[in-house]
Amino acid sequence: MKIAIFSSKTYDQDYFEKYEEDYNYKISFFEAALNKDTANLSIGFEAVCIFVNDNIDKETIKRLSKNGVKLIALRCAGFNNVDVEAAKEHDIKVVRVPVYSPPAVAEHSMALILTLNRKTHKAYNRVREGNFSLKNLIGFNLSGKTVGVIGTGQIGAAFCKVIKGFGCKVIAFDISKSDELMNLGVEYLPLDDVFRQSDVLSLHCPLNTHTHHMINKKSIALMKNGVMIINTSRGALINTVDVIEGLSDRKIGYLGIDVYEQEENLFFEDLSESIIQDDLILRLNGFPNVLITSHQAYFTKEAMDQITITTLENIKAFENHLELTNEIK
């Protein structure tokens, strides 16, 4: 089977080539993102492999189908960038990697919290320049604080276990409650109560019509003054304009994000010599209490192995007409 991997970086190529011989596939790598303008690159391939910033809308699906593509394999968990109904209409199967090292994302969320709080990134830069002053580096004890977790799937659950180890009170909201987490002392509350009570709020839910812009002017107004908001899930969970207003008003005390709602034009690229046209990301970068990483929460050796193997196993199941356990229907 011939597979086209889009939005590929050197690390993607390293991991897929690591397992390529085990599966006997012919894999081609394209740095370009897959969308309606680049869909013709899929000619001659039975499967395309995509990532979070590829735009698989109805027109792209139509062109993929015309080119003979029968499978879209996401090497990620989220699939909000794929028109699943259009794929179904054109008899194209869509599979994903539902889980890849939940501890990786949970630990990165914890890293954002600790860095924002204790300002280790600023201290590092100061000491490198010979500045050993502690001025403006004061943090707070995380122990004893109330941490709200929105979404307690595998990643959210892993985060709850990590944050409990810091002596925090953990409250959560999810449409499904976990008996395991409740036995660990996690208290499930209505969403508005989680907003009201949290000193730190960490987002671990999928992006859908119910969660789009769930962090907005209305929900921010419910929060404590000086709240810390962490997002390692999907960028559009946060209304960026409203969050900027909350930061300007000092309602939001800290913001740590690994995702951004317009990240497809920015993340995974070196733009250090470019003039960035996104005014909102520039505004966020101007706040001293904002920390942004470029969608790297998943990026560990263990996660990359799991992503690659699961993706190839999904393709293998399709090729052999086996049940697609990770199909998006």
Q: Is residue 188 a contact partner of residue 177, using CB atoms and an 8 Å limit? A: yes
Global confidence as pTM: 0.92
Domain ranges of the chain: 2-100+300-319, 102-292
Residue 21 pLDDT more than 90? no
Please provide the distance, in angstroms rounded to a whole number, between the alpha carbons at the two ends of the chain: 23
* Active-site residue (options: 75, 96, 204, 295): 295
pLDDT tens readout for residues 200-234:
999 999 999 999 999 999 999 999 999 999 999 99
Q: Is 89 a catalytic residue?
A: no
**Per-residue model confidence (pLDDT) at position 317:** 97
For 157-187, write each residue's pLDDT tens digit: 999 999 999 999 999 999 999 999 999 999 9
Residue 107 is among the residues annotated as catalytic for this protein = no
Distances in Å between the Cα of 216 and the Cα atoms of 74, 81, 92, 147, 244 are 29, 22, 36, 19, 10
Helix (H), strand (E) counts: the chain: 12, 12
Confidence grade of residue 283 (pLDDT, cut at 50, 70, 90): very high
126 among known catalytic residues: no
Same fold, 2-100+300-319 and 102-292: yes
Catalytic residue among 63, 204, 261, 263: 263
Architecture of domain 2-100+300-319: 3-Layer(aba) Sandwich (3.40)
Q: Which of these is catalytic: 108, 204, 234, 261?
A: 234
Q: What is the third-level CATH fold of 102-292?
A: Rossmann fold (3.40.50)
